[in-house]
Structure 1
Amino acid sequence: MNVVRKILSRFRRGVLIATVAAACAGLAACERPPTKTEAAQSPVLIPAPAKLVARDGGYTLASASGIKTGDEASARVARYFSSLVERTHKLALKPSPGTDGAVVFAIDNSAPEGAEAYTLRITGQGVRVAARDERGLFYGAVTLWQLLGADGRLPAVEIEDAPRFAWRGLMLDSARHFQSVDEIKKLLDALALHKLNTFHWHLTDDQGWRIEIKKYPKLTEIGGCRIPAGDGGIDPATRKPRPYCGFYTQDQIRDVVRYAAERHITVVPEINVPGHAQAAIAAYPELGVLGTRPAVSNEWGVNTYLINTEESTYRFLEGVLDEVAALFPGPYVHIGGDEAVKDQWEASPRVQQRMRELGLKDEMQMQSLLVARLEKHLAAKGKRLIGWDEILEGSLPADATVMSWRGTQGGIDAVKRGHDVVMSPSSDLYLDYLQTDSADEPPGRPATITLQEVYAYEPVPAALSGDEKKHVLGVQANVWTEHMRTFARMQHAIFPRIAALSETAWSPASRKDYQDFLARLPAQLQRYRALGIDYAQTPFRVDIAADAGKRGSEAQVTLANPLGYGIRYTTDGSEPTATSSEYGAPFALPMPGKVRAAAFYAGKPLASASERDIDAASLLVRSDEQLKMCTDSLMLRLEDDGPADGERAIFNVDIFNPCWQWNGADFDGIAAIEVRAGRIPYFFQLAHDEPNRKFKPAKSAHGELEIRAGCDGELLASVPLPAQPDADGFATLDAKLAGNAGKQDLCIYFTGDTRPTMWALDRVRLVPGAGQP
């Protein structure tokens, strides 16, 4: 998807439910998660059920507890539940005819209507989960598992529950970075436990074709491999190109689809056309407009390669979809349709001739013709076409469904034209965007989409009338993997934000409450740990900032937790506990000193303690994460290209305007500025956004490091850049100053257009003059 998206911050205040309202009589109470006592009145379930009544008492499960079932559907759910409980609670429950006090799973036609609805009742005598359909019974089992305490205790409760939306989804991009089948299954396990029922699988793009098509084997033989940019694409032992490869065989696809179905998840495959097609054209050049074979792309962003408009290409795509339709039994096939930059079509005499032959007035009508052709072909196989909201830019078959990613307007327009829509806006639900401002965030896309922003998103636009709202099938979060080289990074991006999405997708809008959600979230983290889910730690850790204090021997320390949980800290080097000093406001710390801090809930830390050693020298250093972007036009958190394996340096870079600011730098006694910089590949295709990239002309062969007093201020220093960085991939540059004093805003940038590489700032240090501390 397009990296050039302005992320609009949102803040939503819900109406607090009864368990929290009493605690929010004052503003301070409302600005923090409820205490353990405040939250104790309701079971900690995510997503929140539609109706819940808590009773006194409960029931204790033990290994001797039987599970009563009545048919094969309830037996399947019972087996799933017992295996989950054995894994997480070490209780060996066995489905059986059951006895008094047993857990009962029952298909019951008197249960509430709805295939995914269920009832759950826990008393001192036992447990009963009932539903009309196996799907509802499965979700009742998930709720029962969430209610089970570490000691096997279940609280007495009555629940009547059903989802708000029919489409509750997550999209995973396996084209940019490839995940193993076992990793996909682990993700499906987690989606099921969040009551999500749709897995949108992005299987083809410019950077890789990941699904075996037997009729066209080169799609995976050639299109399934690329040579990564820079050192990442070089074998460190032989110095020869090292391809990055991966695809799913049809047997593996069937295995994943079966596994998902057992968890009542529908898999929606995506085959992207007419854009994002460079890998396919690399495999079969005759599909392209130019007739030449490009490499499978190793660059991110928006590439210009389109498939051509020949009848033979349409038949090729239909052959692909024939095999796709046979592999995926669900009702939908996604054909992409996004970011199909029309430059190649506009420049091609043959495409223009083809448009005249067909009586088409513009290139968007050409794309609409392709969409209509594919929709008809899929309909003949019992499938419905779904595509990104760009498919609305021309005429669209009546039965086509739209996935709205460029905000909500595409969804509104689709509904107004009579189409079903899935809401998936990049401004709220793109989980590859960073989730906090922490320096510990892994690589990701510009700006942040916080847990609160995901939670606050409302999928049904107010602009829709009552009847029109029925066209909103549901909601989906998307995970684009350009910057997710590992499965751990993918999990970091998804968890815990997927918990916020699940509540939006499942729970009634009236039940949503962010403060109450934060009170339930720590229990969800315990479930993640029990399941081995490598969720993001950054929202639960403490950021420690320090600036010079009023006295030269002190630092002013500021602590913050991104989610607003209470903070405890120490300054004697000890581990923070629930009885350590409670943070309320910035404090003075004698230097040298050490601060350790952790966020706490209900007396327990939510993540490992953050720590920072602070002395006068450390206050003179800023990393790239601590600096501001001069314009913040398109800031990315980018990973270095080497080493080929293992950990790599990470840089915050505005690729439209690589320029960093240190605001309010104290120049008293400073004689020089030391800059450590690295050089990374400039591996971005930005199509029509490319002219927005700015750089200042170089005055020497390799450009300069320039430092100014403010972006438009006086030039303080200029240092020639080397032809190459040092052996470790970095260069350390010393810029002498003359007579500067007081506080100034530093503006740091590198001159010259150095593509296909670019310099990126790693660290800045103010160097005191002789005799200075």
Structure 2
Amino acid sequence: MILHNLDAMAQNKFNVFHWHIVDDSSFPYQSYSFPELSEMGAYHPTTHVYTQTDIKEIIEAARLLGIRVIPEFDSPGHTKSWGAAFRNLLTICYEPMGYFPTGQYGPINPMTEFTYKFMQTFFKEISQVFPDTYIHIGGDEVDFDCWKSNSNIITFMNKMRLNSDFTKLEEYYIKRIINIIKQFGKKNIIWQEIIDNNAKVAKDTIVQVWKQGYKKELAKVTSLGYKTLLSSCWYLNYISYGSDWKKYYLCDPHDFPGSDKQKELVIGGEACMWGEYVDDTNLMPRLWPRASVVAERLWSAKDIKDYNAAKQRLINHRCRMVRRGIPAQPISGPGFCSIEESSKKISSGNLLEIEKKIILIYIFFIIVHI
């Protein structure tokens, strides 16, 4: 399904596949440094994993289509599946008084050196497996309640003079992860919460803005000098009835209060498809052709925003994708796609001619392959 979607991406001029490859629910990445992660953390240790062979195939297929593959290994939150194999990576949560464990585990434990030795080995592997310059290290939606309940975390924060400020603890952790991946020649992308929490991170960090109120957020992040990606407008896993694509088309990533220099720091945008209610049964029709709208927006000048003109282009392109085998859903009400281009009547003479061409093409490919 990923390979099929890469073909669709190429046909729509998308040039980066941001692969949020693990999360709380499952750890399907099959690590050769820590095979236990997928053996114990995936939905199934053999049938629901991405093997190293799978990953190489996806990266190479993407490369041939002009698409970069940027992996995301989100932490310190969204990491419950990591703890299935390495429980001491996670923070033990306690009852409100702090005396008894609840049996639950929270974000990555930021105070132990085991955490950073583990991450050193893990990200060394990731840096070798994924050739792109960037690794997305996450940082979103960190629940501080578990950290707050753990007296060992509180003692560590006092020792580090973090003044009971859990955003500073998060900053401490993220900075150490950034320093780890820098050792392997990689740069990082983070979610906006880290900057919202006033963390100071490396200036070559890219900040991904995903929450609402994005205009104010873009102004803030770019004023701090960080390069920025926008995805707030384009969460395509959310569905609504009717022609909902107009709002995607009219979202302008440069439409925020800021100087021209700030707007130059907005280097792109991202159409997001999260998997809570999406799998291979509904991925493609939910994604396409709504993602096509995002591609046109991001490749177009800001003054190209005629909704009616775009509508006809989109209808035509949706049919083009259907003829190419992409199950793109209807986008603008009742209609049909012409099948004339793909199923013209063929006379017996024409059929023989086509068979000759097919044989010649087949031989040609064999010769090239040899």
Give the alignment's TM-score, normalised by structure 1: 0.40
Q: Which residue of 2 aligns with 1:452?
A: 246
Partners of 2:65 and 2:305 lie apart in 1 by 25
| 1:375 corresponds to 2:178 | yes
Partners of 2:108 and 2:268 lie apart in 1 by 31
Partners of 1:522 and 1:466 lie apart in 2 by 34
Percentage of matched positions with identical amino acids: 28
Amino acid at match of 1:419: Y
Q: Which residue of 2 aligns with 1:324?
A: 126
Amino acid at match of 1:195: K
Q: Which of 469, 472, 480 lines up with 2:266 in the alignment? A: 472
Partners of 2:46 and 2:254 lie apart in 1 by 41
Partners of 2:315 and 2:209 lie apart in 1 by 32
Partner SS, residue 201 of structure 1: strand
Amino acid at match of 2:266: V
Partners of 2:28 and 2:59 lie apart in 1 by 15
Give the total of aligned pairs. 324
Q: Which of 196, 212, 234 lines up with 1:429 in the alignment? A: 234
Q: Which residue of 2 aligns with 1:400?
A: 205
For residues 529 and 600 of structure 1, do their structure 2 counterparts lie closer, same or farther at Cα, with a shift above 3 Å needed? Answer: closer
Partners of 1:514 and 1:325 lie apart in 2 by 43
Partners of 2:52 and 2:161 lie apart in 1 by 39
| 1:286 corresponds to 2:88 | yes
Partners of 1:478 and 1:245 lie apart in 2 by 25
State the superposition RMSD in angstroms.
2.2
Q: Which residue of 1 aligns with 2:108?
A: 307
The answer as to whether partners of 1:274 and 1:337 remain within 8 angstroms in 2 is yes
| 1:258 corresponds to 2:60 | yes
Q: Which residue of 2 aligns with 1:204?
A: 22
Partners of 2:33 and 2:46 lie apart in 1 by 23
Q: Which residue of 2 aligns with 1:506?
A: 299
Q: Which of 54, 70, 77 lines up with 1:268 in the alignment? A: 70
Partners of 1:375 and 1:435 lie apart in 2 by 38
Cα displacement string for residues 738-759 of structure 1 (whole angstroms, at most 9, x for unaligned residues): xxxxxxxxxxxxxxxxxxxxxx
Partners of 1:334 and 1:368 lie apart in 2 by 16
| 1:521 corresponds to 2:314 | yes
Q: Which residue of 2 aligns with 1:722?
A: none
Cα displacement string for residues 284-331 of structure 1 (whole angstroms, at most 9, x for unaligned residues): 111111189xxxxxxxxxx97211121111221222111111111111
Amino acid at match of 2:108: I
Amino acid at match of 2:286: A
Q: Which residue of 1 aligns with 2:194?
A: 391
Unpaired runs of at least 5, structure 1: 1-182, 227-242, 293-302, 438-448, 541-560, 562-597, 605-773
Q: How does 1:558-707 map to 2 (within 5 A)?
A: 561=333, 598-599=334-335
Amino acid at match of 2:140: D
The answer as to whether partners of 1:224 and 1:245 remain within 8 angstroms in 2 is no
The answer as to whether partners of 1:385 and 1:401 remain within 8 angstroms in 2 is yes
Partners of 2:207 and 2:230 lie apart in 1 by 9
Partners of 1:498 and 1:314 lie apart in 2 by 38
Partner SS, residue 502 of structure 1: helix
Partners of 1:435 and 1:195 lie apart in 2 by 25
| 1:532 corresponds to 2:337 | no
For residues 523 and 599 of structure 1, do their structure 2 counterparts lie closer, same or farther at Cα, with a shift above 3 Å needed? Answer: closer
The answer as to whether partners of 1:203 and 1:210 remain within 8 angstroms in 2 is yes
Partner SS, residue 510 of structure 1: coil
Partner SS, residue 323 of structure 2: helix
Cα displacement string for residues 668-687 of structure 1 (whole angstroms, at most 9, x for unaligned residues): xxxxxxxxxxxxxxxxxxxx
CA positional deviation for 1:334 = 0.4
Partner SS, residue 268 of structure 1: strand
The answer as to whether partners of 1:275 and 1:304 remain within 8 angstroms in 2 is no
Q: Which of 140, 143, 156 lines up with 1:354 in the alignment? A: 156
Q: Which residue of 2 aligns with 1:333?
A: 135
Partners of 2:255 and 2:183 lie apart in 1 by 33
Q: Which of 215, 219, 234 lines up with 1:412 in the alignment? A: 219
CA positional deviation for 1:356 = 1.6
Higher helix share: 2
Partners of 2:315 and 2:43 lie apart in 1 by 41
Q: How does 1:13-412 map to 2 (within 5 A)?
A: 183-225=1-43, 246-290=48-92, 305-309=106-110, 310-361=112-163, 362-392=165-195, 393=197, 394-407=199-212, 408=214, 409-412=216-219
Give the alignment's TM-score, normalised by structure 2: 0.83
CA positional deviation for 1:204 = 1.2
CA positional deviation for 1:422 = 0.3
CA positional deviation for 1:488 = 3.5
Cα displacement string for residues 2-58 of structure 1 (whole angstroms, at most 9, x for unaligned residues): xxxxxxxxxxxxxxxxxxxxxxxxxxxxxxxxxxxxxxxxxxxxxxxxxxxxxxxxx
Cα displacement string for residues 147-190 of structure 1 (whole angstroms, at most 9, x for unaligned residues): xxxxxxxxxxxxxxxxxxxxxxxxxxxxxxxxxxxx11111111
Partners of 1:530 and 1:601 lie apart in 2 by 9
Q: How does 1:714-753 map to 2 (within 5 A)?
A: none
Cα displacement string for residues 397-440 of structure 1 (whole angstroms, at most 9, x for unaligned residues): 22211000013133322111110000110xx2101100425xxx
Partners of 2:146 and 2:267 lie apart in 1 by 35
Partners of 1:515 and 1:435 lie apart in 2 by 20
The answer as to whether partners of 2:73 and 2:138 remain within 8 angstroms in 1 is yes
The answer as to whether partners of 1:454 and 1:500 remain within 8 angstroms in 2 is yes
For residues 250 and 410 of structure 1, do their structure 2 counterparts lie closer, same or farther at Cα, with a shift above 3 Å needed? Answer: farther
Partners of 1:213 and 1:412 lie apart in 2 by 39
Partners of 1:265 and 1:304 lie apart in 2 by 37
Partner SS, residue 511 of structure 1: coil
